[in-house]
Amino acid sequence: MTAPEQAGPRRTRTRQAILAAARTLFSELGYEQTTVRAVAHRAGVDPALVMKYFGSKEGLFDAVSEVALPFGGALSGPPERFGERLLGHVLAEIDGRPDRSMPVLRSMLTHPQAAEAVRCAVADPGNSPVADALTGADAELRASLVGSVVLGLLVSRYLLRVPEVDAAPAERLTALLGPCLRPLLAPDADAPDADAPGPPADAPAPGAGAPSDASDPLRALAAAEAERTAAAERVDRLAREALAAGASFAEVGQLLGITRQAARKRWPREETVPAPATT
């Protein structure tokens, strides 16, 4: 093999070593804290070679910068599972190839070019397969909000390393967060009918009276609290109506198991509402 033929593969290996070192350092440190000298040291080459191949730290960052958020890969399939597919695609992509997106994600708050790359990836209506797939009002805004939710998940999982989010399997994150995107992805199916009558005044708050989930004590506690609050509000309203209709504080207190003085203090006569008019 001649000298020029040997030089070609050697240059390729050197360039790849520099790129690999840059991806690692930009991912770990971000743009501001990564230096050409540190990249060269990690790659085992002279800093002059980094400048020769890429011209500057900016040029090196360009070469390794990519935001891989494959939203388009989630478009095919049942629309009601769009959110789960979208999150699954993104998490699988970053878990499989963290070197592709992490340099930009790590640098987006300190480097304008990285910030612009992320903005284009998550909120550019003109370059969004999600926006193209949505119908109805505010499609571009809803697509941008979907991208923002995904970006928040990525920041929590890969940059801030929020313990619970970092430790959770991708499948669990997808199952929990995917349904939360449905109002944005399919609002026509999920939005309430504006002309439909609302719930009756005495109806319990959402979740009240729902069967408790023994496997989730916090959910059961939240449902019980919602039920208690709704019941207390109804008791308060009916007590005021009874007093306004002529009932005595003693009668109201006896029914509720409190003293006449406590009833008087809780519902002063001047604050009670008049009884509903009868026809």
Q: How far, in Å, CA of 20 to CA of 15, rounded?
A: 9
User: How far from 244 is each of 224, 237, 249, 254, CA to CA, in Å?
Assistant: 30, 11, 11, 17
Domain assignment present for 195: no
Are residue 40 and residue 82 in the same domain, yes or no? Answer: no
Are residue 75 and residue 186 in the same domain, yes or no? Answer: yes
User: How far from 203 is each of 8, 196, 200, 208, 216, CA to CA, in Å?
Assistant: 77, 16, 5, 9, 25
Q: Is pLDDT above 70 for 231? A: yes
pLDDT digits (tens, 9 = 90+) for 177-210: 989 988 888 755 444 444 444 445 555 444 444 4
Are residue 50 and residue 124 in the same domain, yes or no? Answer: no
- Please state which of the ranges 6-15, 18-27, 161-170, 195-204 shows the lowest mean pLDDT: 195-204
| Range(s) of the domain holding residue 223 | 201-279
Contact 268, 257 (CB under 8 A): no
pLDDT digits (tens, 9 = 90+) for 75-93: 667 777 888 888 888 888 7
Domain assignment present for 5: no
Are residue 54 and residue 156 in the same domain, yes or no? Answer: no
- Please state which of the ranges 97-106, 159-168, 215-224, 268-277 shows the lowest mean pLDDT: 268-277
Are residue 153 and residue 213 in the same domain, yes or no? Answer: no
Query: In this predicted model, which residue has the larger pLDDT, 193 or 215?
Result: 215
User: How far from 213 is each of 168, 175, 216, 220, CA to CA, in Å?
Assistant: 21, 18, 5, 6
Domain assignment present for 177: yes
Last residue of a domain, one of 46, 64, 82: 64
Are residue 207 and residue 225 in the same domain, yes or no? Answer: yes
